[in-house]
Amino acid sequence: MGSSLLSVAEQLLRDLQRTYSETKQIPDDLLIALRFVFGPCALQALDLVDQRSVTCVSSPSGRNAFQVLGGSGRLYTCFTSCHYCPCPAFSFTVLRRNESLMCKHLLAACLSQAMGLCQQEQVSDQQMTHILSGQTEAST
Amino acid sequence: MADILGVVFRRFASGTVTTDVIFPAEAEGNTLVLGDVNISRSVLFLAAVTAATDLGLKVLFFTQTPFQSLPVSLRASLPGLKLETLKNVKFVYVKTLEELAEDLASLHELASEAASPPSLIILDGLDHYLHGSRGGPLQDDLSPVAHVAALLHDTAAFLSQILQSRADGQGLCRVMVSFQSEDEGSRDSEALAPELLLSVLDRYLQVRCTLEEVKHDGEWRVYLSVMCPALVQQWHMVLRAGGALEFRPVFGGEQQILEQPEKSKQENERCGDNCSY
């Protein structure tokens, strides 16, 4: 997946952040652009945002991560500085097939952050270590 | 901070080097070192020592097994080396992928301590950890390799923020990972294709350093490349009889004398047609 498309996606998320902060709505042209750039997972990601499925967890060290509650009830931990999600769709369509920029969980995290709709949760540093290492996902 | 491998190449250069390893400002310095396990380990070790002694940086060096011997002689490479300067390098021996992920995930806890966090995180032999993971040898899941690479990236990004916020001014944390991809003939039929693994690693480690042995006589071609924007630099690396490693930049006219031109073709293809030397 080319870096040009990634730049387009980043610009689109910036546009969304600006527009949503002013109007609290997503205009049709931005919805069409989201669907065009991110494909079918755009609608699924917006559904996750609507359900407030994205939580930004923070620890006293200052470290942050996103936890996204998937449709199956499983929690997926996504990082803030780079694109990674432990879900099978990310592994297959993003990493293996290179057909999408993101899975619905990652996109939901990006959209929630841009729209200021992340839930906030404080955890201890040790809990953050468990979350980042993937141990919480392995045990769910 | 200059790219650490660039500092290593200049530090151990034969003669005066007028060219520098310059990467685009937007390229992150996280580096994947590809090549034979022994020489990759030696380059990582030299990078750790150079960062600790010349740049005064704190280094974390993750590896599965303690160093028994190296092709490179530290005393021959750095005759005036004082051993106390090596205290900036901390070796961490972790056996399994799960332990590695847990150790990497816990590094943010260092931010709460008064001492500075590391500025260079080195992981020796990522391929060994993947072979030893619970899923078997690199089976059909790319997630473990992506998880470790992304965790390294995210940890370095976080520690860079911490370093920048402190007064010491050394505001970047870099990652350096070595990986030996299996040859087509020797790998398990169920193992993941090397190019697929490398494409995943490229997402998180933007700089690639490929070490290709020339004629099996202690000489290597070193390809240092970034993808976006495309840039490749070639260096020549020689292991001298006394165990010292030497580097020199390779210029345009010399680039046709490769033993395995396929490797340089791969690097050129990875970077598109706009490679500059």
In whole angstroms, what is the distance from residue B86 CA to residue B78 CA?
12
In whole angstroms, what is the distance from residue A90 CA to residue B183 CA?
27
> How many residues are recorded in chain A?
140
pLDDT at B17 over 80: no
* Segment B45-61 mean pLDDT: 91
Q: Which residue has the higher pLDDT, B102 or B7?
A: B102
What pLDDT shows up at residue B33?
96
Q: Is B143 on the interface with A (CB under 8 A)?
A: yes
In whole angstroms, what is the distance from residue A106 CA to residue A112 CA?
10
pLDDT at B269 over 60: no
CA distance A57 to chain B (A): 14
* Segment B237-242 mean pLDDT: 84
pLDDT band at B55 (very low <50, low <70, confident <90, very high): confident
What pLDDT shows up at residue B31?
94
Nearest CB to A80: which of B147, B154, B196? B154
Q: Which residues make Cβ contacts (< 8 Å) with residue B277, sequence separation at least 6?
A: B232, B233, B234, B250, B251, B252, B255
Q: Is B199 on the interface with A (CB under 8 A)?
A: yes
Q: Which residues of chain B make contact with A126, given a CB cutoff of 8 A? A: 109
CA-based nearest residue to B137, from B197, B209, B198, B205: B197
**Which B-chain residues 229-258 have CB contacts (< 8 A) with chain A?**
none
pLDDT at B168 over 70: no
What pLDDT shows up at residue B259?
43
What pLDDT shows up at residue B254?
56
* Segment B226-246 mean pLDDT: 82
Three-state SS at B181: coil
Q: Which residue has the higher pLDDT, B132 or B240?
A: B240
Three-state SS at B54: coil
pLDDT band at A125 (very low <50, low <70, confident <90, very high): very high
Query: Cβ A82–B154 below 8 Å, yes or no?
Result: yes
pLDDT band at B256 (very low <50, low <70, confident <90, very high): very low
Least confident of B27-41, B176-190, B235-249, B257-271: B257-271
* Segment B214-222 mean pLDDT: 84
Residues in chain A whose beta carbon is closer than 8 A to a beta carbon of chain B?
3, 59-63, 65, 79-84, 86, 90-91, 95-96, 98, 125-126, 128-135
What pLDDT shows up at residue B244?
84
Q: Which residues of chain A make contact with B228, given a CB cutoff of 8 A? A: 3
Q: Which residues make Cβ contacts (< 8 Å) with residue B129, sequence separation at least 6?
A: B64, B96, B97, B100, B148
pLDDT at B11 over 80: yes
pLDDT band at B260 (very low <50, low <70, confident <90, very high): very low
ipTM greater than 0.90, yes or no? yes
In percent, how much of chain A has pLDDT > 70? Answer: 95
Q: Which residues of chain A make contact with B204, given a CB cutoff of 8 A? A: 82, 84
pLDDT at B32 over 50: yes
Burial class (CB within 10 angstroms; exposed 0-12, middle 13-18, buried 19+) of B219: middle
Look over chain B and give the mean of its residue pLDDT values, rounded to a whole number.
80
pLDDT at B258 over 90: no
CA distance A97 to chain B (A): 9
* Segment B56-83 mean pLDDT: 82
pLDDT band at B12 (very low <50, low <70, confident <90, very high): confident
Three-state SS at A121: strand
Pairing of β B31-34 and β B174-179: parallel
What pLDDT shows up at residue B6?
85
Half-sphere exposure of A65 (CA within 13 A, CB side): 29
What pLDDT shows up at residue B210?
93
Cα of B13 vs its chain's centroid, Å: 18
Check whether the bond before B24 is cis (ω within 30° of 0): no
What pLDDT shows up at residue B186?
56
Q: Which helix (H) or strand (E) holds A58?
A: strand A54-58
**Interval A73-116: pLDDT, tens:** 999 999 989 999 999 999 999 999 999 999 999 999 999 999 99
CA distance A23 to chain B (A): 32
CA distance B25 to chain A (A): 16
Q: Which residues of chain A make contact with B199, given a CB cutoff of 8 A? A: 95, 98
CATH number of B4-249: 3.40.50.300
Look over chain A and give the mean of its residue pLDDT values, rounded to a whole number.
93
Query: Cβ B154–A95 below 8 Å, yes or no?
Result: no
Three-state SS at B238: strand
What pLDDT shows up at residue A109?
97
Residue among A64, A80, A95, A136 with most chain B CBs within 10 A, to mutate: A95
Least confident of A84-98, B53-67, B111-125, B130-144: B130-144
Least confident of A30-39, A57-66, B50-59, B144-153: B50-59
Q: Which residues of chain B make contact with A133, given a CB cutoff of 8 A? A: 98, 101-102, 104-106, 151
pLDDT band at B276 (very low <50, low <70, confident <90, very high): very low
**Which B-chain residues 98-137 have CB contacts (< 8 A) with chain A?**
98, 101-102, 104-106, 108-109, 111-112
Burial class (CB within 10 angstroms; exposed 0-12, middle 13-18, buried 19+) of A51: exposed
Q: Which residue has the higher pLDDT, A63 or B252?
A: A63
Query: Cβ A86–B203 below 8 Å, yes or no?
Result: no
Query: Cβ B200–A95 below 8 Å, yes or no?
Result: yes
What pLDDT shows up at residue B137?
42
Nearest CB to B112: which of A60, A86, A91? A60
Q: Which residues of chain B make contact with A131, given a CB cutoff of 8 A? A: 105
**Interval A38-51: pLDDT, tens:** 999 999 999 999 99
Cβ atoms A105, A76 nearer than 8 A: yes
Domain ranges across chain A: 40-133
pLDDT band at B112 (very low <50, low <70, confident <90, very high): confident
pLDDT band at A135 (very low <50, low <70, confident <90, very high): confident
